[in-house]
Each structure stands twice: as structure tokens, then as C-alpha cells.
Amino acid sequence: MTEKLQKTAITPATHTTPPAKFSHGVKKGNILQVAGQVGFGPAVPGQAPTPVGPTLREQTLQTLRNVQSVLEEGGASWEDAMMVRVYLTDTGHFAEFNEIYNEFFAGLKEAPAARTTVYVGLPAGLLVEIDALAVLG
């Protein structure tokens, strides 16, 4: 019988405690799942999280940085990402989102991962949410 792998919750210091019973990321063995991240700025004790700004650019860049923080806290990087899922609130944002996404990853030799984009409803003021699945090693 094989030993059961330990599951570890990942929460960077820059992130607030989630509003429900989940983690910003969870690692088990060499798999790291980053929960959906949004464009909230770094946590400020005693303050509710708020979007970094009203524009898709501001929120997308912060969201990507928030995903990256969870990846790094879990010992991974974008190069370890196998799947990225993008949730947009407006179909009209697709082209602009792709431009921002491509700029963010311009330094990588290849795309960070496979990607899926869907359209959803998010809490008021939020335009984008992103999650990622990484395999380490």
C-alpha cells in the first residue's frame, strides 16, 4: 500500500483570508492548484479587499500577479503551469484581455499553459478571475 500524500493549503502573506472555507491554493505531491484569483490589491489588515482599479488592464495585471504569488508560495512558477482558466464578465473584453495576457508573458519562451476562457458573473466591480494548475518537477 502506498503512503497517502499530504495536502497543504497555500496562502501568500499578500492575500486576505478567503470569505468561505477554501484556500488560495492547495498542493498535494507535485500538483499545485491555484484557486480563482481576482484583481484585489495586497491585503491590508482590518480592511476588506477591493479591486485595484476599474479597468480590465489594472484588474488583469493584478490578477496575474496574484496567481503568480500563489504559484511561488507553493514552490512553482508560470513555467510549471499546465492549465490556466480565465473567467471574464464581458465577451467584449476578450481581445483586450489577450493583448494584456500576451504582454504579461512576453518574456516566456512558450505559452505558460493550455488555456480556457469562459464568461461568468462575478461580484460587482470585478471583471476577471483566473485560476491555474501547476505540476512541479
Which tens digit of pLDDT belongs to each residue from 85-105? Answer: 999 999 999 999 999 999 999
pTM assigned to the model:
0.94
Closest CA to 51 of 134, 124, 132: 124
Chain centroid to CA 1: how far?
A: 35
Q: What integer pLDDT is reported at residue 1 of this predicted model?
A: 65
Please state, in angstroms and rounded to a whole number, the distance separating the CA atoms of residues 28 and 50.
30
Closest CA to 32 of 7, 15, 2: 7
27-75: pLDDT as tens digits: 999 999 999 999 999 988 888 899 999 999 999 999 999 999 999 999 9
125-137: pLDDT as tens digits: 999 999 999 999 8
Please state, in angstroms and rounded to a whole number, the distance separating the CA atoms of residues 112 and 104.
11
Please state, in angstroms and rounded to a whole number, the distance separating the CA atoms of residues 18 and 40.
12
